[in-house]
A and B are shown apart, each in its own frame.
Chain A
């Protein structure tokens, strides 16, 4: 077999640095379509340097990654249809638990809370994050470097510390924890904005680094005010960065447990916190069903965001 000849081995070693690229390539190729011609031609042709789909060990790594990443999620989704309370042995197909999850008032409330928090926190942190990024890029001011460092700090500070700090902070200033919905979520939203906006700022900043300053000057030269330049030239350029940053903030906020756990008032339960309390009794398919819905929402949001980004990316 050509795979075992010394020359082929040398190619393998040379190309091992491209393993990551290879994975991405194979991920696009439909395995069923390519495996059979590859097998019949193996005796004739040596493996070409770019024919990643003909390397068995790459298939192994690719397969393992897929299994480790997606098998748990797929089994979670599959067992949401399991007709059993125990959730260990497959007992038959049912959609009962979706109905039950829907009708579980406290689970439904936690779910609505989480989505509300995520949406509000995303909007606020996208605005703040983008403003901070533009400010850091556009202006020179004293203590700019320390400010930039401090701004990014919430990314590295352990979540548990953030959580405790937030708890103490809200207690000290007697922030009202109750109130009518959605006021009872205000503490959580503030906490989420605090750890989400640096991510937005970093993504937007990276995008700004590739901005041609002559575009801004051209806009001013053509008669636009600074605000018009920002609105018609800089913001459209930033759109992919804003979408990516917002998506990041949305997912971070939606699944945050630690900080939320510390800042949540007694009657402000979010989805992750609710799941945690349910799992402490038993993992029922109801939990699986609710989680599946959450995964679907995130995936749909991601697809939507990628679609939104695609045309402006082509324009660059």
Chain B
């Protein structure tokens, strides 16, 4: 593993009455697409602003390539940022905006010209070079903000909710464009987002934050399939959560008594104790009209709700004990609608491997 480009050590930022960032430590690797994900007010933007130098941490250090950055002003850091509002200078043309970062740092004029030309061409902005920002669309303004930051050849590019101001179609398009861009420029990107899909689809690793603390740092698939905490499981994707108590072990199996789903044996190695939460993703539940031949975990129930989404349908099943199970069924063939109707008697099965045990 390469050495981290940014090392955040015990960073705390306290505002009057609230700790926005509370003792966070993170390592961000060279050339990584890293996402800070969390609900609004979780401290992710404050953390990003501290990396940029726009906020001063109350305590802790931020190392860039091993050097402490805390006392370095933002204009002296080899880090650039794309702001949420893009912050494109309204009184300058597109070309002047892009040249700004070179002009103020005293790059010779003879060098600025060609570099701006090149940057305009890469960002497909050449034909707009002499336009003012108010004559640009949201997507074009974002490209100006990106080009303006990247022309400085930073070691790290920070992006604060870069896609939130775009409409849905453009957002999807920009997602893959940003991911491609990161690979082609070969520098570290740190993105702040509250949109889990954005983080899951673009990032190499994601830090999930809540209330100023980092809950888990992991690649997207690990985060989704093996969440470390109940918060992460609940925040990322949809999930069925049930309270349970650990009864003991049966060889390799952990036996838990659930609140509503009876006693289940799970192939879990970790020695959980006391109260736990068990979690299962809706798409990992199988719903059938006939009792399956073999299944280790199986519940009988009645369909109470069916929601059709085109590519998939959500089926809510109620067990005789009154427990609700949410299943997500992929509509893989061109049948009309979904197989299930309200009041249907069905069987819900699941693979014990797919059931997660989380400390409560």
B window 30-69: CB within 8 A of A: 52-54
In this complex, which of A219, A221, A233, A314 has the most chain B Cβ atoms within 10 angstroms of its Cβ?
A221
Asked, given contacts A212-B85, A214-B85, whether A223 binds B152 with beta carbons under 8 Å apart, the answer is yes
CB pair B134 A217 closer than 8 Å: no
Q: Does B242 contact A (CB under 8 A)?
A: no
Q: Are A214 and B83 in contact (CB under 8 A)?
A: yes
Binary CB contact string for chain A from 279 to 316 against chain B (1 if under 8 A, 0 otherwise) = 00000000000000000000000000000000010111
Residues of A contacting B73 in the complex (Cβ-Cβ under 8 angstroms)? 220
A236→B89 CA distance, assembly (Å): 10
Q: Report B132-144 CB contacts with A as 1/0, cut-off 8 Å.
A: 1110000000000
Residue of B nearest to A225 (CB): B75
A232 within 8 A of B: yes
Shortest Cβ distance from B95 into chain A, in angstroms? 15
Within 8 A of A (CB), among B88-125: 89-91, 100-101, 104-105
Which residues of chain A have C-beta atoms less than 8 A from B74's C-beta? Answer: 217, 220-221
Cross-interface CB contact of B89 among A221, A233, A312, cutoff 8 Å: A233
Cβ of A221 and Cβ of B90 under 8 Å apart?
no
Smallest beta-carbon distance A241→chain B, Å = 13
CB closest chain-A residue, reference B100: A222
**A225 CA / B103 CA spacing, docked (Å):** 12
Q: Is B209 part of the contact surface with A, judged by Cβ < 8 Å? A: no
A217-B87 in contact (CB<8A): yes
Min CB distance, A182 to chain B, in Å? 35
Complex Cα gap A315–B134 (Å) = 6
CA distance A301 to B107 in the complex (A): 39
Is there an interface contact between A223 and B87, defined as CB atoms closer than 8 Å?
no
Number of interface residues of B (CB under 8 A): 27
Q: CA–CA, A223 to B112, complex, Å?
A: 15
Contact at A312–B91, with CB atoms within 8 Å?
Answer: yes
A222 touching B80 by the CB < 8 A rule? yes
Is A224 among interface residues, defined by CB-CB distance under 8 A?
Answer: yes
Residue of A221, A232, A314 near B75 (CB, 8 A) is A221
Does A218 contact B105, Cβ atoms closer than 8 Å?
Answer: no
Across-interface contacts of B149 in A (CB, < 8 A) = 221-222
CB distance from B135 to the nearest CB of A (A): 9
Q: Contact between A232 and B104 (Cβ–Cβ < 8 Å)? A: yes
Most A C-beta atoms less than 10 A away, residue of B83, B104, B134, B148: B104
CB of B142 to closest CB in A, whole Å: 13
**Which B residues are in CB contact (< 8 Å) with A312?**
91
Chain A residue contacts of B90, Cβ below 8 A: 215, 237, 315-316
Flag if B105 contacts A223 (CB, 8 Å): yes
Report the separation of the CA atoms of residues A314 and B83 in the bound assembly, to the nearest whole angstrom. Answer: 23
- Is A25's beta carbon under 8 Å from chain B? no
For the complex, give the distance between the alpha carbons of A90 and B152 in Å.
73
Contacts of A239 in B (CB 8 A): 91
A228 touches B (CB below 8 Å):
yes
B255 within 8 Å of A by Cβ? no
Q: How far is the CA of A227 from the CA of B81 in the complex (A)?
A: 20
Instruction: Encode contact with B along A214-253: 1 for CB under 8 Å, 0 otherwise.
Output: 1101111111110010001100110100000000000000
- Give Cα A239 to B92, complex, Å: 14
B132 touches A315 (CB 8 A): yes
A292 to B287, CA, bound (A): 92
Within 8 A of A (CB), among B142-156: 148-149, 152
Asked if B87 contacts A218 (CB within 8 A), the reply is yes
Q: How far is the CB of B233 from chain A (nearest CB, A)?
A: 34
A228-B104 contact, Cβ under 8 Å, with A221-B52, A315-B132: yes
The answer for the CA separation of A203 and B148 in the assembled complex, in Å, is 32
From B76, B90, B105, B132, name the one whose CB has the most chain A CB atoms within 10 angstroms.
B90
**Closest-CB distance, A210 to chain B (whole angstroms):** 11
| With known contacts A212-B85, A222-B148, A315-B134, A217–B54 Cβ distance under 8 A | yes
8 Å CB interface, A46-80 against B: none
Given contacts A218-B81, A314-B134, A315-B134, whether A224 and B104 have CB atoms under 8 Å apart is yes
Q: Contact check, A220 vs B54: say whether CB atoms are below 8 A apart.
A: yes
CA distance A314 to B133 in the complex (A): 11
Expressed in whole angstroms, the minimum distance between the Cβ of B182 and any Cβ of chain A is 19
The residue from A217, A225, A315, A316 contacting B104, defined by CB atoms under 8 A apart: A225
Q: When the two chains form their complex, are residues B134 and A316 in contact, meaning their CB atoms are under 8 A apart?
A: yes
Query: Bound state CA distance, A225 and B54, in angstroms?
Result: 13
Beyond A214-B83, A315-B134, whether A222 also contacts B91 by CB under 8 A is no
CA distance A225 to B101 in the complex (A): 11
Q: Is B331 an interface residue (CB 8 A)?
A: no
Determine the residue in chain B with the shortest Cβ distance to A233. Answer: B89
A215 CA to B88 CA, complexed, in Å = 7
| Nearest B-chain residue to A217, judged by Cβ | B54
A223 x B83 contact (CB < 8 A): no
B84 interface contact, C-beta 8 A: yes
Chosen A-B contacts, 29 in total, with CB atoms closer than 8 Å, are: A212-B85, A212-B87, A214-B87, A215-B90, A217-B54, A217-B74, A217-B81, A217-B87, A218-B83, A218-B87, A219-B100, A220-B75, A221-B149, A222-B80, A222-B100, A222-B148, A222-B152, A224-B75, A224-B101, A224-B105, A228-B104, A237-B91, A312-B91, A314-B132, A314-B134, A315-B90, A315-B132, A315-B133, A316-B90
Contacts A221-B74, A316-B134 supplied; 16 other A-B pairs, CB < 8 Å: A215-B90, A217-B54, A219-B100, A220-B75, A221-B52, A221-B54, A221-B75, A221-B81, A222-B80, A222-B148, A222-B149, A223-B75, A224-B104, A237-B91, A239-B91, A315-B133
List A residues at the B interface (Cβ < 8 Å): 212, 214-215, 217-225, 228, 232-233, 236-237, 239, 312, 314-316
